[in-house]
RNA sequence: GGUUCCGUAGCUCAAUUGGAUAGAGCAACUGCCUUCUAAGCAGUAGGUUACAGGUUCGAUUCCUGUCGGAAUCACCA
């Protein structure tokens, strides 16, 4: 049994003995003691005054006295303004340290719960950018967290590989590309294709301007611009499976995939299965027809099919056009069902998609539920806020995007410069140094994007780049490498077996660290329930910060008392372990030296 | 216009989901390398939590209104 539960039981016992009336569960509020006060567990006594008929302070004293007298492990207490702060004796803390483990998924027996996590979802007409980075790191980290708590996670991405926007790059390449390809030009495939997408837009705008100059209205100009006509014609050809068009499409997409692969590799993320929109965009019609037949949907006179969501406080939503073709919602319905066929074991899906699509997913899940898919209740839109630049929103067509590859390179370079400046590389081999820059740079970037609550929009200033000091990934990595260094010096045999640890009067810092360590399981659980890596990030930062305090103020290796040194080494080792696990959950590596 | 979300230190973010004196980092300023890595530690300064009401022992958190910002509401994806 863990300490929190033990304290709770004792408090409940105390209350039962002291108060004549039965106290409701919800009125027993135990929370971690705030930093500035002594103690580890705090009972909020205000709600109890209803039962005790005494002041909060008197109530607290009654309970405190009882606990100190009867539990044997609560050393003392203090009362401030109706808050009862309990101090647990040090031998209990040492015992807690002995029993502490980072393993939390104990339900190894029985089938694991299966879940699908979708993230990334790129378009094949342009390279990945900062927004994708948040999406990808988030999706990856959430997958890790779910898996850590014992779930079987299938990571997938849906690739937006068709449609008018893809045809735009194709048209521009055909017209202006002069046969250029990634191999000969030495331009990364996704970047090359992206250039043609931009080129298309440029020409398109020019043509619109010319038409407007001739007196054509803006709307008509946008429709009639000759290059846009060509793109539309190409989309029709593509849909008609014209061999030449398909060939070009396949070729250009393959360039993009090679480029993406490099980018994903550097990010350190993988997928278990890829879905292509070109293979799913026609799905979903049968589902819509089923819904129509069963009366869940309705058909208008022009033949279009709709669903009425006004009871749920939403609008009527189109599901199939009057000409019988699909809309976005149609294919998402189809894809959702397809995935449950591909992975019959999964109980739910997590969609990592920006918050501008919140409405879409609300509707999607509602419709799935209406048609009768029970798993719809376990579908979750992992919605995250946009990453803003100081200049405002990123617009790919206006060239204000922060490119993913460039940004990763930049932070790695920054790590390199900072390391050189501190003269830390002298003892490292070239390979080790390069690997370190990579770990640090990406660690800094990932931590930066993950430490913020996913739901909130966040700001990124490319001018200032990513910090390496303070509340950052490298700070945590540094703490880890410090401990690694310490343990190397000590030698493995110096770390005692848990059973050998003896209690002593702990330093405040030591106790604080143990308390922090014990929060690990709770934090992971919380991060899992809220789909929020930021909870892990915040937690591991606090732990590292606390450990650095110990490092700076208390001798570890040079401690003359064998038992104290043993306990501190054991504690250090555990802190390093938790840091490793937490960083791994964030997709960040933990260097042995830096 | 309807709906949803957001507004916390100069800047970027926290705040145990209604708890104590609202915390960290960056930037500024002061100290600390002759003891395990100073990418660190200790400290100073910085706040009417957008504003006005309400609910109660207690509000950054819940409710109402105002102001400011964002997203969304397509036979687009």
Average pLDDT estimate for A452-464: 89
Instruction: Name which of A481, A485, A496, A412 is nearest A446 in CA terms.
Output: A412
Instruction: Name which of A170, A110, A115 is nearest A139 in CA terms.
Output: A115
What is the pLDDT of chain A when averaged over all its residues? 92
Instruction: Name which of A131, A130, A145, A141 is nearest A447 in CA terms.
Output: A141
User: Residue A202: its pLDDT value, please?
Assistant: 92
User: Residue A62: its pLDDT value, please?
Assistant: 93
Total Cβ atoms within 10 A of residue A31:
10
Decide yes or no: CATH 3.40.50.300 for domain A114-388: no
Q: Which secondary structure element, helix H or strand E, spans residue A306, and what is its range?
A: strand A305-308
Q: How far apart are CA A108 and CA A48, in angstroms?
A: 41
CATH classification code of A404-585:
1.10.730.10
pLDDT(A347) > 80: yes
Q: How far apart are CA A525 and CA A111, in angstroms?
A: 20
User: Residue A22: its pLDDT value, please?
Assistant: 83
User: Residue A112: its pLDDT value, please?
Assistant: 85
Q: Measure, in angstroms, how far nucleotide B41 C1' is from residue A561 CA.
A: 24
Average pLDDT estimate for A243-265: 97
- pLDDT tens-place string over residues A203-239: 999 999 999 999 888 888 988 899 999 999 999 999 9
- Strand A305-308 relative to strand A298-299: parallel, antiparallel, unpaired? antiparallel
Torsional class of A515: left (φ above 0), alpha (ψ -120 to 50), beta (otherwise): alpha
Decide yes or no: CATH 3.40.50.720 for domain A3-88: no
Nucleotides of B under 7 A from a protein CB: 3-6, 11-17, 19-21, 23-27, 35-42, 57-58, 70-77
Burial group, residue A471, by CB count within 10 angstroms (0-12, 13-18, 19+): middle
pLDDT(A313) > 80: no
User: Residue A36: its pLDDT value, please?
Assistant: 86
pLDDT(A576) > 80: yes
Q: Measure, in angstroms, how far nucleotide B77 C1' is from residue A303 CA.
A: 22
Q: Measure, in angstroms, how far nucleotide B24 C1' is from residue A580 CA.
A: 22
Confidence class for position A499, pLDDT limits 50, 70, 90: very high
Closest CA-bearing residue to C1' of B13: A452
User: Residue A406: its pLDDT value, please?
Assistant: 94
Q: Measure, in angstroms, how far nucleotide B32 C1' is from residue A537 CA.
A: 29
Total Cβ atoms within 10 A of residue A329:
19
- pLDDT tens-place string over residues A104-148: 866 556 678 999 999 999 999 999 999 999 999 999 999 999 999
More confident residue, A587 or A424: A587
DSSP letters for A160-216: B--SHHHHHHHHHHHHH-TT--HHHHT--HHHHHHHHHHHHHHHHHHHHHHHHHTT-
Nucleotide nearest to A488 (CA to C1'): B36
DSSP letters for A447-513: HHHHSS-TTS-EE--TTT---SSSSSHHHHHHHHHHHHHHHHHH-GGGSPPGGG-------HHHHHH
User: Residue A397: its pLDDT value, please?
Assistant: 62
Is the Cβ atom of A38 within 7 Å of strand B at any atom? no
Q: Measure, in angstroms, how far nucleotide B58 C1' is from residue A81 CA.
A: 11
Closest CA-bearing residue to C1' of B24: A471
Q: Percent of chain A having pLDDT more than 90?
A: 79
* 3-state DSSP assignment of residue A419: helix
Is the Cβ atom of A462 within 7 Å of strand B at any atom? no
Contacts for A161 with CB less than 8 Å, ≥ 6 apart: A123, A124, A253, A276, A277, A278
Closest CA-bearing residue to C1' of B23: A35
* 3-state DSSP assignment of residue A152: strand
Is the Cβ atom of A366 within 7 Å of strand B at any atom? no
Burial group, residue A86, by CB count within 10 angstroms (0-12, 13-18, 19+): buried
pLDDT(A156) > 60: yes
Nucleotide nearest to A330 (CA to C1'): B77
Nucleotide nearest to A304 (CA to C1'): B75
User: Residue A314: its pLDDT value, please?
Assistant: 82
Burial group, residue A6, by CB count within 10 angstroms (0-12, 13-18, 19+): middle
Are the CB atoms for A359 and A365 separated by under 8 Å? no
User: Residue A401: its pLDDT value, please?
Assistant: 84
Average pLDDT estimate for A397-405: 80
- pLDDT tens-place string over residues A45-94: 999 988 888 899 999 999 999 999 999 899 999 998 899 999 999 999 99
User: Residue A363: its pLDDT value, please?
Assistant: 92
Q: Which of residues 283-312 of A touch strand B (CB under 7 A)?
A: 300, 302, 304
Closest CA-bearing residue to C1' of B77: A328
Average pLDDT estimate for A88-102: 95
Q: How far apart are CA A470 and CA A459, in angstroms?
A: 18
pLDDT(A385) > 70: yes
Is the Cβ atom of A250 within 7 Å of strand B at any atom? no
pLDDT(A392) > 80: no
User: Residue A19: its pLDDT value, please?
Assistant: 85
Nucleotide nearest to A50 (CA to C1'): B57
Q: Which range (A163-172, A459-468, A564-573) has the least confidence?
A: A459-468
Q: Measure, in angstroms, how far nucleotide B65 C1' is from residue A580 CA.
A: 50
pLDDT(A179) > 70: yes
Q: Measure, in angstroms, how far nucleotide B2 C1' is from residue A306 CA.
A: 20
Nucleotide nearest to A315 (CA to C1'): B73
User: Residue A110: its pLDDT value, please?
Assistant: 66
Q: What share of chain A is helix, strand, coil (3-state, %, to 5)?
A: 60, 15, 30
Is the Cβ atom of A323 within 7 Å of strand B at any atom? yes
Q: Where are the domains of chain A?
A: 3-88, 114-388, 404-585
Give phi and psi for A406, each to the nearest 5.
Answer: -65, -40
- Strand A83-88 relative to strand A114-118: parallel, antiparallel, unpaired? unpaired
β-pair partners for A392: A389
Confidence class for position A25, pLDDT limits 50, 70, 90: confident
Closest CA-bearing residue to C1' of B3: A314
Q: How far apart are CA A23 and CA A29, in angstroms?
A: 12
Contacts for A205 with CB less than 8 Å, ≥ 6 apart: none
Q: Measure, in angstroms, how far nucleotide B6 C1' is from residue A365 CA.
A: 24
Q: Measure, in angstroms, how far nucleotide B76 C1' is from residue A162 CA.
A: 14
Instruction: Quote ipTM for the complex.
Output: 0.95
Could you tell me where the beta strands, DSSP code E, fall in A59-98? 74-80, 83-88
Q: Which secondary structure element, helix H or strand E, spans residue A51, and what is its range?
A: helix A49-52
Is the Cβ atom of A515 within 7 Å of strand B at any atom? no
Instruction: Name which of A92, A73, A91 is nearest A10 in CA terms.
Output: A73
Instruction: Name which of A255, A265, A266, A267 is nearest A188 in CA terms.
Output: A255
Confidence class for position A3, pLDDT limits 50, 70, 90: very high
Q: Which range (A152-156, A295-299, A313-317, A590-594) has the least confidence?
A: A313-317
Q: Which of residues 476-495 of A touch strand B (CB under 7 A)?
A: 478, 481-482, 484-486, 489
Q: Which of residues 525-564 of A touch strand B (CB under 7 A)?
A: 526, 530, 534, 538, 541, 545, 548-549, 551-558
Contacts for A9 with CB less than 8 Å, ≥ 6 apart: none
Which own/partner pairs from A558-567 qualify as long-range (CB within 8 Å, at least 24 positions apart)?
A561/A504, A563/A501, A563/A502, A563/A504, A564/A504, A565/A494, A566/A494, A566/A495, A566/A496, A566/A500, A566/A501, A567/A94, A567/A97, A567/A496, A567/A501, A567/A502, A567/A504, A567/A510
Matching fold, domains A3-88 and A114-388: no
User: Residue A241: its pLDDT value, please?
Assistant: 94
Is the Cβ atom of A125 within 7 Å of strand B at any atom? no
Nucleotide nearest to A85 (CA to C1'): B20
Average pLDDT estimate for A18-31: 87
Q: Percent of chain A having pLDDT more than 70?
A: 98
Are the CB atoms for A302 and A321 separated by under 8 Å? no
Q: Which of residues 375-434 of A touch strand B (CB under 7 A)?
A: 386, 393, 415, 418-419, 422, 424
Angle of helix A56-70 relative to helix A3-18, nearest 10 degrees, comes to 110
Nucleotide nearest to A471 (CA to C1'): B25
pLDDT(A399) > 70: no
β-pair partners for A353: A383
Are the CB atoms for A242 and A235 separated by under 8 Å? no
User: Residue A391: its pLDDT value, please?
Assistant: 77
Instruction: Name which of A493, A483, A488 is nearest A568 in CA terms.
Output: A483
Is the Cβ atom of A435 within 7 Å of strand B at any atom? no
């Amino acid at each position: 049994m863990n300490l929190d539960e033990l304290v709770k039981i004792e408090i409940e016992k105390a209350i039962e003995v002291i108060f004549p009336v039965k106290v409701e569960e919800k009125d027993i509020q135990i929370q971690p003691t705030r930093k500035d006060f002594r103690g580890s567990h705090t009972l909020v006594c205000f709600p109890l005054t209803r039962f005790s008929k005494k002041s909060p302070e008197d109530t607290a004293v009654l309970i405190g006295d009882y606990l100190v007298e009867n539990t044997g492990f609560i050393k003392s207490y203090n009362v401030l303004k109706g808050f009862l702060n309990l101090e647990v004796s040090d031998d209990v803390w040492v015992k807690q340290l002995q029993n502490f483990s980072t393993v939390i998924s104990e339900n190894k027996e029985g089938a694991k719960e299966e879940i699908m996590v979708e993230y990334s979802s790129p378009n094949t007409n342009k390279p990945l950018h900062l927004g994708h980075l948040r999406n990808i790191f988030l999706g990856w980290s959430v997958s890790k967290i779910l898996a850590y708590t014992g779930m079987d996670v299938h990571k997938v991405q849906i690739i937006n590989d068709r449609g008018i926007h893809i045809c735009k790059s194709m048209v521009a390449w055909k017209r202006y590309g002069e046969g250029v390809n990634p191999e000969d030009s030495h331009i990364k495939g996704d970047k090359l294709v992206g250039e043609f997408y931009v080129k298309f837009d440029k020409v398109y705008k020019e043509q619109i301007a010319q038409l407007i100059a001739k007196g054509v209205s803006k709307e008509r100009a946008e429709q009639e611009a000759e290059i846009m006509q060509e793109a539309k014609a190409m989309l029709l050809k593509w849909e008609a499976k014209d061999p030449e068009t398909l060939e070009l499409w396949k070729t250009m997409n393959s360039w993009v995939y090679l480029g993406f692969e490099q980018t994903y590799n550097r990010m350190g993320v993988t997928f278990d299965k890829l879905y292509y929109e070109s293979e799913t965009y026609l799905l979903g019609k049968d589902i819509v027809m089923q819904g129509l037949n069963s009366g869940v949907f309705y058909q208008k006179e022009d033949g279009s099919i709709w669903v009425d969501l006004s009871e749920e406080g939403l609008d009527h939503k189109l599901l199939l056009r009057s000409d019988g073709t699909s809309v976005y919602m149609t294919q998402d319905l189809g894809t959702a069902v397809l995935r449950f066929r591909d992975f019959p074991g999964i109980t739910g899906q997590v969609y990592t998609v920006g918050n501008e699509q919140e409405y879409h997913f609300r509707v999607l899940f509602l419709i799935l539920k209406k048609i009768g898919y029970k798993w719809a209740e376990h579908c979750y839109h992992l919605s995250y806020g946009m990453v803003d630049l100081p200049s405002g929103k990123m617009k790919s067509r206006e060239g204000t995007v922060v490119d993913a590859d460039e940004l990763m390179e930049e932070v790695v370079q920054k790590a390199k410069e900072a390391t050189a400046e501190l003269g830390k590389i002298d003892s490292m081999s070239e390979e080790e140094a390069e690997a370190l820059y990579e770990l640090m740079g990406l660690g800094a970037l990932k931590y930066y994007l993950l430490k913020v609550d996913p739901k909130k929009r966040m700001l990124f200033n490319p001018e200032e780049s990513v910090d390496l000091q303070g509340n950052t990934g490298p700070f945590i990595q540094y703490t880890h490498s410090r401990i690694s260094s310490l343990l190397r010096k000590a030698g493995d045999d110096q770390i005692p077996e848990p059973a050998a640890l003896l209690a002593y009067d702990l330093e405040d810092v030591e106790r604080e660290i143990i308390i922090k360590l014990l929060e690990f399981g709770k934090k992971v659980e919380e991060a899992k329930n809220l789909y929020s890596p930021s909870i892990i990030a915040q937690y591991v930062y606090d732990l590292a910060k606390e450990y650095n305090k110990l490092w700076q103020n208390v001798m570890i290796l040079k401690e003359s008392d064998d038992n104290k040194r043993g306990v501190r080494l054991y504690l250090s080792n555990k802190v390093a372990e938790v840091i490793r696990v937490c960083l791994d959950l964030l997709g960040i590596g933990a260097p042995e030296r830096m």
